[in-house]
Amino acid sequence: MTGFAEALKNAGDLASAQIAASLDGTQGPIREAMLYATTGGKGLRAFLVMESARLHGIEPQNAAPSAAAIEALHAYSLVHDDLPCMDDDDLRRGQPTVHRKWDDATAVLAGDALQTLAFELVTQTGCPDAARLRLITTLAQASGVRGMVGGQALDIAAETAAAPLTLAEISVLQAGKTGALIEWAATAGPHMAQADTCALGQYARDLGLAFQITDDILDVEGDAATVGKAVGKDAHAGKATFVSLLGLEGAKARAQTLVTSACDVLSAYGTQADTLREAAEFVVARKS
């Protein structure tokens, strides 16, 4: 494995183990659904937490609760986003979605409890009280109506809008829906160390946008078995995407430009940040 592939796997495993440990002593279908929903993901957000923490001299065991928190929060958003009244998806990470494997009520409650767990976990991060409060506040801002949920609301509104979204509108939507949590994850390390978040914030904004453009490309070029979820949905629904607005080649070129920019902005960290640079390359090269 490359340094990146290994770091990604380790971070994902660490987050899953921490989530499982935090559910020790509970039982029932909500617990099972919570574990199911936090298993089998790429672990990209956990990886960004662990790497940004490493760059700022934070010990892995101190950063781990934040890595688990962001994976729990991301999982909650997927479980609710997949519901019949939302995107109505049957497949996620190559497996039945939570409401298909259990039922809608279990999916609503498991998602709710995963959001709560995220805030419980982040309070366990090993850093000064002021830094922990900053992590909690920024996590709430990134995931609320001004962040992720705001982006999801724009996405739903777009489905019934008179005209397809413009490039500017889609960029705002994406910055909320996908970008905000990725930025939180990549700036968690400097937050823990009470250091400047500027470079990693810019890295994350480029990375997040490249990630979403690649999602749109996979929706056109990918096959469901490899991607692990339904494809072709956006084109079929006539939704504006980065591909419909930039063309397939234009979208690929834009994603590559963003990767270059993301790598460049990490110059202050030198070769220490090479794993984050590999992550940026991975985000646009991935097939799922």
* Residues found near its own copies in the complex (CB under 8 A): 23, 26, 28-31, 34, 76, 80, 83, 85-86, 103-105, 108-109, 111-113, 115-117, 119-120, 123, 129-130, 132-133, 136-137, 139-141, 143-146, 149-150, 152-153, 156-157
Question: Cα torsion at 134, 264, 179, 116 (round to 10°)?
Answer: -40
Specify the residue, 24 or 249, whose C-beta has the smaller distance to its own copies: 24
Q: Give 95's strand partners.
A: 92
The runs of H, that is alpha helices, within the chain are: 3-22, 29-37, 44-55, 60-81, 98-101, 104-122, 129-143, 148-159, 167-174, 180-192, 198-221, 224-227, 233-236, 242-246, 248-264, 274-285
Q: How far apart are the first and last CA of the chain?
A: 18
Specify the residue, 134 or 205, whose C-beta has the smaller distance to its own copies: 134
Q: Answer whether 206's CB lies under 8 Å from 257's CB.
A: no
Specify the residue, 118 or 284, whose C-beta has the smaller distance to its own copies: 118
Provide, rounded to whole angstroms, the least separation between the CB of residue 191 and its own copies. 14
Specify the residue, 149 or 248, whose C-beta has the smaller distance to its own copies: 149
Specify the residue, 57 or 144, whose C-beta has the smaller distance to its own copies: 144
Provide, rounded to whole angstroms, the least separation between the CB of residue 23 and its own copies. 7
Specify the residue, 152 or 178, whose C-beta has the smaller distance to its own copies: 152
Could you tell me the CA-to-CA distances from 49 to 24, 81, 107, 281 in Å, in that order?
24, 23, 26, 18
d(CA 78, CA 184): 17
Provide, rounded to whole angstroms, the least separation between the CB of residue 202 and its own copies. 24
Q: By C-alpha distance, which of 172, 180, 198 is closest to 73? A: 180
Provide, rounded to whole angstroms, the least separation between the CB of residue 4 and its own copies. 31
Could you tell me the CA-to-CA distances from 205 to 35, 48, 182, 198 in Å, in that order?
29, 13, 8, 11
Specify the residue, 239 or 277, whose C-beta has the smaller distance to its own copies: 239
Residue 86: exposure state from Cβ atoms within 10 A (0-12, 13-18, ≥19): middle
